[in-house]
Amino acid sequence: MPVLSASGLARTFSSKRGPVEAVRGIDLTVESGEILGFLGPNGAGKTTTLRMLTTLLAPTGGSATVAGCDLARDPVGVRRAAGYVAQSGGVDPNVSVREELFTQARLYRLAASEARARTEELAADLGLSELLDRKTATLSGGQRRRLDVAMGLTHRPQVLFLDEPTTGLDPGSRADLWELVRRIRAEHGTTVFLTTHYLDEADALADRLVIVDKGVVVAEGTPDALKRAHAGSPDASLQDAFLAITGRSPKLSAPFEQGGTPIAAPGDPSPVAL
Amino acid sequence: MSALLSDTALIFGRYARQTLRSRLQMLFGVLMPLLYLLFFGPLLTDLPLSSQGSSWQVLVPGLLLQLALFGASFCGFGIIVEKQYGVVERMRVTPVSRLALLLGRVLRDALLFVLQSALLVGAALVMGLRAPLPGILIGFAFVAVLTVALASLSYTLAMRVSTPQAFGPVINALTMPSMLLSGLMLPMSLGPRWLDVLSHFMPFRYLVDAVRAAFVGAYASPAVLYGVLVALAFAALSVIFGTRAFRRAAA
């Protein structure tokens, strides 16, 4: 029984130059406890899909269910079952870690005493206990990201959506975050749906990949199966498979090779320094 | 219902603390009306304003609503910054009431501007204002309702734009004519007939007239009745628009 299924999920934006089909019909299912990598070049519709699946954006076509709740008919049910960590995170730099975690727990309708306990528990679990009384602006990139993930885990969601979770992180923090994602799944059986344009991340973390391009699913399977089918052998790189599928490489597929800082997406106000 | 109340209290608390963190900003809104009070008010004391009461009873109600008009219209700026941090979406993925996301914010705004109004009236009393206490309290109530209405619209617009640069000019273009056409500074009845007629199409005029009537003790006058009706209708519509903005996704 899949924990998430979408069929024909679509979103068309209207612009001055006419309608823009950001997502043209996504069909996918995610099994409970799976780590799914949602991979695609920039502008493929990854974030738009995620925003629809988390009720932030109403679809203009198709349907989806998350943890048995229909996106259109029971958005509150979807919100209770899903956690979402946006690319830009979502904390106020002038607010303390404790206040953000407590507020998030209250937004998920935990009673004040439960919310206090959950704050301590999450902080201990994600290595934030020493930082509880610091303003979020003073956290390092890796600490900030752990806080963002903690916010998404507040209500012990069945499905955790992570939008490009390691963009802007240094290699050490990146490895830590991968470990954290694996641990969340192992300890709580949480289904993880993560978007990325880092092929090494998809290769290392995901049980299964769904590759999107121009708003539709163009391939799916385990990393090995995709390499075999599209690049000829399981020893080929995912890069080769990706190129064969989409005809182009995702932006910054290996961000640290040239020693460069990954470019923050437009609208990301706080690119994390390396 | 209790979920709505506790959600609203939660959001209100968060933004009240945000305001308390920036004390200077708290007082900034009162600066413009205070300058009008000090440097414009004395010009009016001997002028025939063809209305009941002293010139202060004409000017101070206008300044109270000016404070709400300019203060509340610019409230949306804060949410543009918050949107960029991702705070708005992070709240919108939770089951929190969408109405509470708006109400918590606008009630903070209303409280802030009522406190600033009290400060302004205090200064006006020193300058020479004499008005009945119920009238002054009615004035504060109008400030609160007008703030709820305008701040809701301001957040609605701010949810649709992505930069402060796109937001500021629109607000300026709307607030200046509103101020001039509502007779905030001087009663419109002093002007030529065409201007007086035109100003009746500006909803704020009814609020200004109502607070001026309240300041001279005419609580049961048609002016107060029309003011209450216009203010409540305006606030109700604005809150509906504003809640929709939080329900639907922003650009």
**Which one of A179-193, A248-262, B182-196 scores highest in mean pLDDT?**
A179-193
Q: Of the ranges A56-60, A151-155, B183-187, which one carries the lowest mean pLDDT score?
A: B183-187
Q: How many residues does chain B have?
A: 251
Nearest to A107 among B89, B91, B248 (CB): B91
pLDDT digits (tens, 9 = 90+) for B11-28: 999 999 999 988 877 787
Secondary structure (3-state) at A9: strand
Question: Could you give the CA distance from residue B74 to residue B150 in angstroms, rounded to a whole number?
Answer: 9
Q: Of the ranges A129-133, A180-184, B83-87, B183-187, which one carries the lowest mean pLDDT score?
A: B183-187
Residue A241, Cβ density class (10 Å: 0-12 exposed, 13-18 middle, ≥19 buried): buried
Min distance B109 CA to chain A CA atoms (Å): 19
User: Could you give the percent of chain A with pLDDT greater than 70?
Assistant: 90
Min distance A135 CA to chain B CA atoms (Å): 13
Regarding beta strands A191-196 and A159-163, do their DSSP bridges make them parallel or antiparallel, or are they unpaired? Answer: parallel
Q: Does A270 touch chain B (CB under 8 A)?
A: yes
pLDDT of amino acid B40: 87
Q: Which tokens hold the place of B114? A: 């009522």
Write the DSSP symbol of residue A249: P
Nearest to B84 among A76, A107, A267 (CB): A267
Question: Could you give the CA distance from residue B139 to residue B118 in angstroms, rounded to a whole number?
Answer: 10
Which helix or strand (DSSP H or E) is residue B209 part of?
helix B204-215
Min distance A157 CA to chain B CA atoms (Å): 11
pLDDT of amino acid A250: 60
The neighbouring-strand residues paired with A160 are A83, A192
Mean pLDDT of B130-139: 96
User: Could you give the percent of chain A with pLDDT greater than 90?
Assistant: 69
Q: Does A84 touch chain B (CB under 8 A)?
A: yes
To which CATH superfamily is domain A2-246 assigned? P-loop containing nucleotide triphosphate hydrolases (3.40.50.300)
The residue with tokens 């009008």 is B36
CB of B148 within 8 A of CB of B233? no
Secondary structure (3-state) at A251: coil
Mean pLDDT of B79-99: 94
pLDDT of amino acid B50: 64
Q: Does A57 touch chain B (CB under 8 A)?
A: yes
pLDDT of amino acid A249: 60
Q: Does B247 touch chain A (CB under 8 A)?
A: no
The model's pTM is 0.88
Yes or no, beta carbons of A94 and B18 under 8 Å apart: yes
> What does the H/E/C string look like for A105-162?
HHHCCCCHHHHHHHHHHHHHHCCCHHHCCCEHHHCCHHHHHHHHHHHHHCCCCCEEEE
pLDDT of amino acid B41: 85
Question: Which CA distances in Å does A254 have to A49, A171, A174, B4?
Answer: 24, 11, 13, 47
Output A250 or A168, whichever has higher pLDDT.
A168
Q: Does A271 touch chain B (CB under 8 A)?
A: no
Q: Which tokens hold the place of B149? A: 């209405």
Secondary structure (3-state) at A30: strand
Nearest chain A alpha carbon to B2: A109
| Nearest CA among A134, A164, A182, A131 for reference residue A263 | A164
Give residue A144's identity as a one-letter amino acid code.
Answer: R
pLDDT digits (tens, 9 = 90+) for A131-187: 999 999 999 999 999 999 999 999 999 999 999 999 888 999 999 999 999 999 999
CB of B84 within 8 A of CB of A267? yes
Write the DSSP symbol of residue A270: -
Q: Does A82 touch chain B (CB under 8 A)?
A: yes
CB of A149 within 8 A of CB of A180? yes
Yes or no, beta carbons of A89 and B89 under 8 Å apart: no
Min distance A95 CA to chain B CA atoms (Å): 8
Min distance A181 CA to chain B CA atoms (Å): 19
pLDDT of amino acid A257: 36
CB of A162 within 8 A of CB of A193? yes
Question: Could you give the CA distance from residue B13 to residue A130 in angstroms, rounded to a whole number?
Answer: 25
The answer, yes or no, to whether residue A251 has pLDDT greater than 60, is no
pLDDT of amino acid B22: 83
CB of B24 within 8 A of CB of B30? no
Q: Does A51 touch chain B (CB under 8 A)?
A: yes
Average pLDDT, chain A: 87
Q: Of the ranges A24-28, A116-120, A229-233, B89-93, which one carries the lowest mean pLDDT score?
A: A229-233
pLDDT of amino acid B249: 62
Q: Does B160 touch chain A (CB under 8 A)?
A: no
Q: Does B170 touch chain A (CB under 8 A)?
A: no
Question: Could you give the CA distance from residue A230 to residue A199 in angstroms, rounded to a whole number?
Answer: 15
pLDDT digits (tens, 9 = 90+) for B49-59: 766 788 899 99
pLDDT of amino acid A244: 81
Which helix or strand (DSSP H or E) is residue B223 part of?
helix B222-247
The residue with tokens 């612009």 is A15
CB of A77 within 8 A of CB of A67? yes
The answer, yes or no, to whether residue A258 has pLDDT greater than 50, is no
Nearest to A56 among B14, B85, B249 (CB): B249
CB of A243 within 8 A of CB of A249? yes
Mean pLDDT of B148-153: 97
The answer, yes or no, to whether residue A21 has pLDDT greater than 50, is yes
Most A CBs within 10 A among B25, B80, B94, B105, hence the mutation to make, goes to: B94
* List of chain B residues whose C-beta atoms are within 8 Å of the C-beta of residue A71: none
Nearest to B95 among A89, A95, A108 (CB): A108
Q: Does A102 touch chain B (CB under 8 A)?
A: no
Question: Could you give the CA distance from residue A180 to residue A183 in angstroms, rounded to a whole number?
Answer: 5
pLDDT of amino acid A273: 37
User: Where does A23-133 have alpha helices with state H?
Assistant: 46-53, 75-81, 97-107, 112-125
pLDDT digits (tens, 9 = 90+) for A196-241: 888 888 888 999 999 999 999 999 999 888 888 887 777 777 778 8
Yes or no, beta carbons of A92 and B90 under 8 Å apart: no
Nearest to A90 among B18, B89, B96 (CB): B89
Give residue A185's identity as a one-letter amino acid code.
Answer: R
Local confidence band at B66 (pLDDT 50, 70, 90 cut-offs): very high
Min distance A109 CA to chain B CA atoms (Å): 8
Q: Of the ranges A118-127, A146-155, B25-34, B126-135, which one carries the lowest mean pLDDT score?
A: B25-34
Residue B84, Cβ density class (10 Å: 0-12 exposed, 13-18 middle, ≥19 buried): middle
Q: Does A93 touch chain B (CB under 8 A)?
A: yes
The answer, yes or no, to whether residue A263 has pLDDT greater than 50, is no
The answer, yes or no, to whether residue A63 has pLDDT greater than 70, is yes
Domain ranges of chain A: 2-246
Yes or no, beta carbons of B90 and A91 under 8 Å apart: yes
Q: Of the ranges B32-41, B43-52, B138-147, which one carries the lowest mean pLDDT score?
A: B43-52
Nearest chain A alpha carbon to B82: A92
Q: Does A92 touch chain B (CB under 8 A)?
A: yes
Q: How many Cβ pairs within 8 Å bridge chains A and B?
A: 77
Q: How many residues does chain A have?
A: 274
